[in-house]
Chains A and B, each alone.
Chain A
Amino acid sequence: MEKGKGIMGSGRRWAVDFSDNSTAPSSRDIPDPPGFTRASVDQDDSTVSRQKKDAESNWKAQKAWEVAQAPFKNLLMMGFMMWMAGNTVHLFSIGITFSALWQPISALQGVGKVFEPYKDNKVDLLGPKLLFIALNLGGLALGVWKLNTLGLLPTHASDWVSSLPPAQEVEYSGGGIPL
């Protein structure tokens, strides 16, 4: 998640605007890269703007897919960490498990936000979103599975009977060695 934000969120550090079609290189501080000629872009305005929009939506769609796939790496990472943590309940394994649970949940809460920058009429965000949600759910499942292997889920009979009071007895008997 952090990564996705780093690339596409508001705090991006640099960007090349490919739709920039101004012909005067002096308008920018940075000189054009070698081999790039602005003169070649000499189509008429409408084509230019349409192409520009197409490119943008393509790019957005591509990025959206990328973002959607990002949790997969996380998942692998998490799996590795969990394997490292082992199956006994201690500080490390508990920490790992809780973060494995917490990350997908917070990611799922922020699904809309994550895909906000790629919102476009032409871009179909449903696919990436579903993938994103599925991967995060996968992460969540992994966390729950880990929780279970740690024995913290009430999935055994023992978890339900541990506080059952003893059954009442019908008969009562007393006595002993005569005084």
Chain B
Amino acid sequence: MAIMSFIFAFFFFSSLQPILSLYEDQVGLMDWHQQYIGKVKQAVFHTHKTGRKRVVASTEQNIIATLDLRSGEIFWRHVLGPNDVVDGIDIALGKYVITLSSGGSILRAWNLPDGQMVWESSLHGPKHSKSLLLTTNLIIEKDNSLIVFSNGRLNAVSCIDGEVLWKKDFEEESLEVQQVIQPPGSDFIYVVGFAASSQFETYKINAKNGELLKHESTAFSGRFSGEVSLVSSETVAALDSTGSILLTISFHNGKISSQQTPVSNLLEDSPGLAVIIHSSVTGIFAIKTDAATIFIRVIGEGKLEVVEKTNHETVVSDALSISEGQQAFALVQHAGSNIHLTVKPAHDWDSNLLKESIKMDQQRGFVHKVFINNYIRTDRSHGFRALIVMEDHSLLLLQQGAIVWSREDGLASIIDVTTSELPVEKAGVSVAKVELNLFEWLKGHVLKLKGTLMLATPEDIAAIQYMRLKSSEKSKMTRDHNGFRKLLIALTRAGKLFALHTGDGRIVWSHLLQSLHKSESCRQPIGLNLHQWQVPHHHALDENPSVLVVGRCGPSSDALGVLSLVDSYTGKEFSSLRLVHSVAQVIPLPYTDSTEQRLHLLIDADKHAHLYPKTPEAIDIFQSEFSNVYWYSVDDDNGIIKGYALKTKCSGNVADEFCFDSRELWSIVLPSESEKIITTATRKLNEAVHTQAKLIADQDVMYKYISSNLLFVATVAPKASGEIGSVTPEESWLVVYLIDTVTGRVLHRMTHHGSQGPVQAVLSENWVVYHYFNLRAHRYEMSVIEIYDQSRADNKDVWKLVVGNHNLTSPVSSYSRAEVITKSQSYFFTHSLKAIAVTLTVKGITSKQLLIGTIGDQVLALDKRFLDPRRSVNPTQAEREEGIIPLTDSLPIIPQSYITHSLRVEGLQSIITVAAKLESTTLVFAHGLDLFFTHYAPSRTYDSLTEDFSYALLLITIVALVAAIFVTWILSQRKELQDRWR
């Protein structure tokens, strides 16, 4: 009977369909979502009206956002496309946010309180030019108007509906308009620019109708360099192209008069090349040289006077008019770990309206931008608040000498992510502050029990929900049994490294990398990627894990590389290296030394391989595997894939035993007139595969071709590499290759005629799934290729397998030329993709699901069973039993399988999957502008109790059962006794 009931239970549970969605009250238990806006380019305050004070910001990631000035929270946010660069923002009429974007061709107005778009107008013009946005109080035909200069045309646009009221073209070929100025209180506009880099031109234009009132020009002997700085409404300051002569040009009433002052006259020491800083403070402008920032005042007719010379990194804000005719501006200077914020009136350099010193985290770097805003204190004096943008792209609000709030907006531009384990829980490690005492634990469980028995009041339910969301268990700083708690280490474009806790997404530490800091020897450092350098588990548990950050000085591929090693527990950069060679590729090798440091091979632009770490032990390990290490490079510009083996020590002049020459082994040259490489995909290095056999219907077996040296390459016709729809189906094709990267053997090649990129691909185990556009069907398609090893297929003798007399597990070489067969199938798919990934579990037993980053910035889980090339329209009974789904022409999108549920990961870039220690569970981290993290169990959590399992109920049930047994035992004893007495 016990067997029967067990079997019954087994079949009952196994017949349940996996439910992949979650309940409303489970949102936020395992997942977290963070929203960012990126590095702020321009900010406009809106504090005049009563109500919520806010700041409108445009960022380098093309976002328009309004933030709450009290807390820094986002009120609303719009992500413009990657090509829709914001040129300028402003607030008009106190209720519209005006944005000029896409090189000045799109002007939009957004409703300030809720972010809805009010109007949009497109502005076109005769030629490409600088885009300038100017809001005025001008009233033209009863409408408040905006003046926009873009694409060589001056437009006056109505604020109310975006209608163009008048336009004026500036078609002169060489004219470069620099400024559009409206002197206060006047009804004309100056358009100031250079023609042919040596002519200074002013146009005076009637603001009411766009009529040209006056045009003046004057020639200058030298050439102008780009920027001009507005000194007053009728005076500008400019530098010549040598950066040594300052010009002040005034054009009062259309008469141009200019003054030339050599920079060396103002400064004693020769400053070198100077650049003018864009600012709008009346009477003062600033130039920046290599060593210093110099503030110069214009006195009277073109006379210049140096007011201050600062040697620190100094940032100046735009002018802010605080009262009638009075302007103020802010200066931010660094002094040690403090920053000094000074607000000065424009007319008087020596007096300060405000001087504050604020302690600033060193890890934020220098101040890059400052925006100020004023408010009236209770004693009618002026108070100032400043919004500063730091080197790490973070945004801070300073007020009254303190940081009111800060936003880590550097996380909006993550380059690469890796993970690290947390410290092991030891007796010495104090985690007491997050531990609960027994009473609280019991109280929590009683509450939970009440919830289960439907006895809870609404307050109790709220308390339960709060308890579940704020569970201290998930945010502890120690390792857990299930491997859910980890550190996500993210490298941002600003060169800062962040460690995020997977439990609640908080920043555990952040570190601005010194090696990626601008310096004399490394002018344009950029971070490239992150690798796990040391992952101690067995021998070196007392060591901290560390990550390797690879960077390079400059954008070109032959720029010198930089490496730094960062402790992942503390964030300390314990080693930083300036390489003497460039970094073209970083290859983590599958070997570790005795301290569990992973060996890495860095390939430079000259195809020399450099081994790291540079220790004798590493070289010993490497020497023993020397002949088995290969590398390949994919040259996507020329369509050449080349494979290399390592030869001998470098033949260069310096004896470096860690440097090796490469020898070309093979090359695949794709015909450049018909194929262009657009995508490659490889298997993840850390992917575990449980078995090499795939069982198919009727007890048959197929052997997977599992090789980590498999490369997927997708090429398209060069004509078809543009946008979808730019070519006809006849002249467009997509060719996919599966290549063994050791021998260069093409294992499989397939052509999709009439198809086109972009291609997104993921390779895992023995299959590859890729997504492309089918021009003939006008739909997106996804294809799967599975590759099987036919040369193992005759291992079918049961007795040989029983006694282990087979060679299925003996090491294989790529040179053994396995005979492979492939199976493939294509399906239609509704969405276009931004990213694709596959779930990853620790042993690879759990079935796989594809994680698809849709165009709507959500992450959709799709069972791999839908992409099985063995699907057919009418599967046999045996195939059905095996779990083969009848073939349909398109892949289903199940709304419940969006793992981001109702959230969006704006600007989704990539999806990273990490295996937890629990076999059923994958940790999924999706990043773009936003961050999203969740746990995902592709086949449900079959190996653990669910989070809402009621231990209290179980305990009570057990106690009740024991009591019942005891009572019935006593009763039966008594009855037996009575029976005997009878």
Contact = CB atoms under 8 A, between A and B. Distances in A.
B692 A164 contact: yes
Interface in B693-709: 693, 695, 699-701, 703-704, 706-709
B311 interface: no
A167 B629 contact: no
Contact of B742 (A160, A165, A171): A171
A166 B630 contact: no
A36 to B, nearest CB: 44
B692 A166 contact: yes
How would you classify the secondary structure of chain A's contact residues: helix, strand, loop or mixed?
Answer: loop
A158 interface: yes
Interface stretch (A19-27, A74-82, A91-99): A91-99
A178 to B, nearest CB: 4
A179 B603 CA distance: 10
A151 B633 contact: no
Nearest to B588: A174
B3 interface: yes
Contact of B809 (A162, A164, A175, A179): A164
Contacts of A173: 629-632, 643, 709, 741-742
Contacts of B583: 179
B519 interface: no
Contacts of B877: 88
A160 B701 CA distance: 10
Contacts of B528: 179
Contacts of B706: 166-167
A159 to B, nearest CB: 8
B710 to A, nearest CB: 10
A168 B811 contact: yes
A121 interface: no
Given A166-B704, A169-B708, A175-B585, A157 B628 contact: no
Nearest to A95: B4
Contacts of A158: 693, 695, 699-701
Interface residues of B, number: 68
Q: Considering residues A158, A159, A166, which has the most beta carbons from chain B within 10 angstroms of its beta carbon? A: A166
Contacts of A178: 557, 584-585, 603, 605, 633-635
A14 to B, nearest CB: 30
B692 A165 contact: yes
Nearest to B702: A158
Given A90-B11, A172-B708, A178-B557, A151 B699 contact: yes
Contacts of B430: none
A163 interface: yes
Interface in B783-811: 795-798, 801-802, 808-811
A11 interface: no
B795 A161 contact: yes
B689 interface: yes
A169 B625 CA distance: 12
Interface in B433-486: none
Nearest to A90: B11
Interface in B647-703: 680, 682, 689-693, 695, 699-701, 703
A176 B815 CA distance: 21
A175 B633 contact: yes
Given A91-B7, A91-B11, A160-B802, A175 B691 contact: no
A43 interface: no
A170 B633 CA distance: 20
A156 interface: yes
B632 A167 contact: no
Contact of B587 (A156, A166, A174): A174
B601 interface: yes
B185 interface: no
Contact of B636 (A88, A174, A177, A179): A177
A164 B557 CA distance: 44
A158 B707 CA distance: 21
Contacts of A167: 692, 706, 808-812
Nearest to B4: A95
B741 A155 contact: no
A168 B11 CA distance: 37
Given A88-B881, A164-B692, A177-B680, A172 B590 contact: yes
Contacts of B4: 95, 98
B918 interface: no
Contacts of A89: 881
A91 B3 contact: no
A162 B8 CA distance: 26
A40 B559 CA distance: 127
Given A157-B796, A162-B693, A174 B589 contact: yes
Contacts of B590: 172
A154 to B, nearest CB: 8
Contacts of B625: 172
Contacts of B586: 179
A144 to B, nearest CB: 16
Q: Which of A88, A168, A171, A176 has the most CB of B within 10 A?
A: A171
Interface string B760-803: 00000000000000000000000000000000000111100110
Nearest to A161: B693
A95 B1 CA distance: 10
B798 A175 contact: no
A156 B693 CA distance: 13
Interface in B515-558: 528-529, 550, 552, 557
Contact of A179 (B557, B797, B815): B557
Contacts of B810: 167
Contact of A157 (B589, B601, B795): B795
Given A160-B802, A172-B629, A173-B631, A165 B585 contact: no
A170 B811 contact: yes
Interface in B838-884: 877, 881
Contact of A176 (B11, B634, B709, B813): B634
Interface string B1-40: 0011001100100000000000000000000000000000
A28 to B, nearest CB: 33
A54 B4 CA distance: 48
Contacts of A160: 798, 801-802
B242 interface: no
B679 to A, nearest CB: 10
B814 interface: yes
A94 B584 CA distance: 61
Interface in A127-160: 151, 154-160
B634 A165 contact: no
Given A157-B797, A161-B808, A172-B628, A179 B693 contact: no
Given A155-B798, A162-B695, A164-B692, A174 B812 contact: no
A165 to B, nearest CB: 7
Given A163-B691, A178-B584, A95 B814 contact: no
A101 B797 CA distance: 27
Contact of A170 (B3, B628, B643, B795): B628
A166 B689 contact: yes
Interface string B584-614: 1111111000000000010101000000000
Given A164-B809, A166-B691, A172 B680 contact: no
A177 B625 CA distance: 24
Nearest to A158: B701
Contacts of B808: 161, 164, 167
A161 B801 contact: yes
Given A164-B691, A165-B692, A166-B691, A91 B8 contact: yes
Contacts of A157: 699, 701, 795-798, 801
26 contacts: A89-B881, A94-B7, A95-B4, A95-B7, A156-B699, A156-B700, A160-B802, A161-B691, A161-B692, A162-B701, A164-B808, A166-B691, A167-B706, A170-B628, A170-B812, A171-B813, A172-B625, A173-B629, A175-B587, A175-B632, A176-B633, A176-B634, A177-B680, A178-B635, A179-B529, A179-B557
Q: Which 10 A-B pairs have the closest CB atoms?
A: A174-B587, A160-B801, A156-B699, A173-B630, A158-B701, A178-B584, A166-B692, A173-B741, A161-B693, A175-B632
